[in-house]
Every structure is written in structure tokens, then in C-alpha cells.
Amino acid sequence: MYKKDRQKRRGRQTTDILAKGEFGNSYKQWIFEVSNRFRTSQIKASIKVNDEMLRFYWLLGKDIEMMKANVSWGSHVYQKISKDLVEELPEIKSFSPRNLQYMNQFYRLYSNIEITHQLDAQIFKKEITPQVGAQIDKNIIFMIPWGHHKVIMDKCKDNQQKALFFVQKTLENSWSRAVLLNFLDTQLFERQGKAVTNFELTLPSAQSDLAQEITKDPYNFDFISLTQNYNEKELKDALMDNIVDFLLELGSGFAFVGREYRIEIGNTENYIDMLFYNIRLHCYVVVEVKVTAFEPAFTGQLGTYVVAVNHTLKSDMDAPTLGLLVCKSKDNVQAKYAIESSSQPLGISEYELSNLIPDDYKGTLPTIEEIEAELNE
């Protein structure tokens, strides 16, 4: 008993020595670094396993494609291969006929890629750099889970460019399968980067490309419900009440700064509809929302707010402020001419809102006070 107590005291003394003094500080730092290294190694191991598995699926899909071309098995090819593989590997659950079809589709969708081993150079970066269209390295297909791929293949069919777009977005934003499925249903690929802008004329080329990519046209506001004859305030109130969904629709990197953001221009007070900061572009983004069709005069107001933010909020570390006008509708030619006349980086988009309630319903819905009174009774 005495020996055990002495060992415990020595253990406590050792812990106290390590936790105090100069060595104690470095010891705590070392523990922190070891913990981080362990977590990183776990992540790397899981990513490498996923990478190898997807490369195996791609090659198996290639083999199946060659068999289909050379062997007359008809529509039963997947059933036969599944049966034979399960007999050889009964403990593996990946060789169902349906999963083999996905593997074959996986190969056909990306049959033109050249498989390289760039995993360590790419996936362990803390941030995936956004890329446009054909510039995307197709080896990124081995960086997301197989479940995500099946969802993408179901929605994108044989459209490789669209499929790669969603693979890239999944990597950039760490989307879960549920979030990915949600964006696949919103025509994000067709809307991304489609706003009418003058970024190419007003920003350096590298920044203008990235700025264009953060825009959409149209923006989808179906996450809110309004009566048919809603006004501008009701729309803005609804967007703020659903700020999380609004930020998701704006895209990754947007941080909300404020609504009706007060800014002094000379001796007058002005209020910006919504002010955001884009972390990826390192710039403020002024957003003005209009419930009417686009009018050229709107760009003058928006440009003024952009200049005011540059003078009062922007630091030397920030990129130039962007302005985004979201209208009910627009004439693209008129919008293009209007922003070409501005020296500030501006974009113009439309919005869609299909969840409209007939005005007659508004009067029949109980008020909060009436609901509370009924509950109290």
C-alpha cells in the first residue's frame, strides 16, 4: 500500500513539474501539437481510403464497359458480375447490381480523365481554390464520398461539366449529402456566375473572375412565403427572418454585416438595404433589393453606396467593394448599358419567388394576439 501511494505521489509530482515553468508551457504546446497531428493523420487516412476506393470503382467501371462491348450478356451483365464477385468476396457489400451500374456510370461520366496521384498536393490544403469550368482538375472526383457521387450522377446524368461543378462546390463548402441534394434541385449550375456585371471592366482580371463566380441569376427566394401584392419592406423582412437560408443562397463566404446599414454621405444619412462581407474575396458587398423591374437610375444609387463604403469602411487590406442589385425582372441589354456607364464594380440579377399566398388569405389568417388568446382560453 505504501509503495502504491509513493508511486501516485511521484506521478502527481511529475505532472506538476510538466505543467509548471518554462518546460510546462512547451509541454502543453507539445500535447496540443500531438493532438492536432493525430486528428490530421485520421483525416488523411480516411481520405486516402476514400481515394483508393473511388479509383478502384473507376477502374472496375472501365472493365465493365469493356466487357459490355465485347461480351453479349445483354441487360444481365450487372447481375452476373455481382453474383460472381459476391461469391469470391462474400464479406464485401459494395458489389450489388445497382452499385455496379453506378461504377460503370462513374467511369463513363469521367472516362476522359487522366488518373494522376496528386492527392497529397491537393486535398490536404486547408482551402480548395475555386476554379472555373474546364480549369478544374478532374482528379478532384476522388476527393468526395461515394454517396455524394451517386447523388450527383442521378441529377447530372452524362453532363460532366455540371457534375464537376458540384464536386468542386462540395469540396469548397464541405457540403453534406443533404445540402448537396438541396443545391442540385435549385439549378445552381445554370444560375452560378450569370449576373449582368461590369466586373471585367472595373476589377483586375483575377479578381473579376472570382467576383463573377459569386453571383447568381436569378436568385431563388422560394425559402420565404409572401402574399401576392407584397411590398419591398415585406420582402426584406422575410429575407432577414430567414437569414440562414438567404446566406446559403448568396453562396459560400458571405458574412452578414447589417440591414438598413446607416452610412453618412456628406451631411445626409443613407441606409443600405443589406451589407455583407465576402471572406473569400476580402471585400464588402452592398446588396440592394427592388420589387420592381430594373431601372437605370438604380445603378446610380448603388454606385454611390459602393463609393461611400470604400471611403468609410474599407481598409487598405480589403479589396474594392462590390455592388449587387437584385430586381424582380430586368432587360439584360438595358442593364448591361447601365452598368457600363459606372466606374464602380456592379452586378444586376433577378429573383424568383414562387411561394405566394393569395391576398384574400391574409385577412383570414389569425393574428398572433388571437392565437395567444385562444391558447389562454
CB 229 within 8 A of CB 353: no
What gap in Å lies between CA 195 and CA 217, rounded to an integer? Answer: 5
Q: List the grid coordinates of 71.
A: 461480351
Q: Is residue 222 part of a domain?
A: yes
DSSP state of 117: -
Q: Are residues 167 and 247 in the same domain?
A: no
DSSP state of 186: T
Q: What is the pLDDT of residue 287?
A: 97
Residue 265 CB: number of other CB atoms within 10 A? 13
Q: Are residues 353 and 222 in the same domain?
A: yes
Task: Outline where DSSP puts E strands in the chain.
Answer: 196-197, 219-220, 226-227, 254-265, 268-278, 283-289, 322-327, 346-352, 356-357
- Helix ranges, 157-214 (H): 160-173, 177-184, 188-191, 199-202, 205-213
The CATH number assigned to the domain holding 345 equals 3.40.1350.10
Residue with cell string 502543453? 28
Residue with cell string 509541454? 27
Q: Are residues 109 and 203 in the same domain?
A: no
Query: Of 157, 185, 213, at which residue does a domain stop?
Result: 185
Q: Are residues 98 and 245 in the same domain?
A: no
Q: Is residue 370 part of a domain?
A: no
Q: Which of 329, 351, 274, 337 is nearest to 305 (CA)?
A: 274
Label the pairing between strands 346-352 and 356-357: unpaired
Q: Are residues 160 and 256 in the same domain?
A: no
DSSP state of 281: T
CB 58 within 8 A of CB 107: yes
Q: Is residue 13 part of a domain?
A: no
Q: Are residues 316 and 206 in the same domain?
A: yes
What gap in Å lies between CA 195 and CA 212, rounded to an integer? Answer: 7
Q: Is residue 244 part of a domain?
A: yes
Q: Are residues 139 and 258 in the same domain?
A: no
Q: Are residues 217 and 162 in the same domain?
A: no
Query: Of 185, 215, 233, at which residue does a domain stop?
Result: 185
Q: Is residue 198 part of a domain?
A: yes
Q: Are residues 273 and 158 in the same domain?
A: no
Identify whether 204 is preceded by a cis peptide bond (ω within 30 of 0).
no
Q: Is residue 6 part of a domain?
A: no
How many residues does this entry show for the chain? 377
Q: Is residue 330 part of a domain?
A: yes
CA 89 to the chain's CA centroid:
38
Amino acid occupying residue 1 = M
Q: What is the pLDDT of residue 113?
A: 77
What gap in Å lies between CA 328 and CA 317, rounded to an integer? Answer: 34
Would you give per-residue pLDDT tens digits along the chain (377 residues)? 545 555 555 555 555 544 554 545 676 777 678 777 777 676 667 777 888 899 999 999 999 898 887 777 666 888 888 999 999 888 888 899 999 999 999 999 999 877 665 544 444 443 444 444 445 677 889 999 999 999 999 999 999 999 999 999 998 888 889 989 988 988 899 999 999 999 999 999 888 999 999 999 999 999 998 888 899 999 999 999 999 999 989 988 999 999 999 999 888 999 999 999 999 999 999 999 999 999 999 999 999 999 999 999 999 999 999 999 999 999 999 999 999 999 999 999 999 998 777 766 555 556 666 677 777 76
Query: Of 167, 185, 203, at which residue does a domain stop?
Result: 185
Q: Are residues 216 and 326 in the same domain?
A: yes
Q: Is residue 278 part of a domain?
A: yes
Query: How many folded domains does the chain comprise?
Result: 2
Q: Are residues 86 and 180 in the same domain?
A: yes
Q: 210 lies in which domain range?
A: 192-360
Q: What is the pLDDT of residue 122?
A: 47
Q: Are residues 173 and 241 in the same domain?
A: no
Q: Which of 129, 210, 141, 194 is nearest to 349 (CA)?
A: 194
Residue 126 CB: number of other CB atoms within 10 A? 4
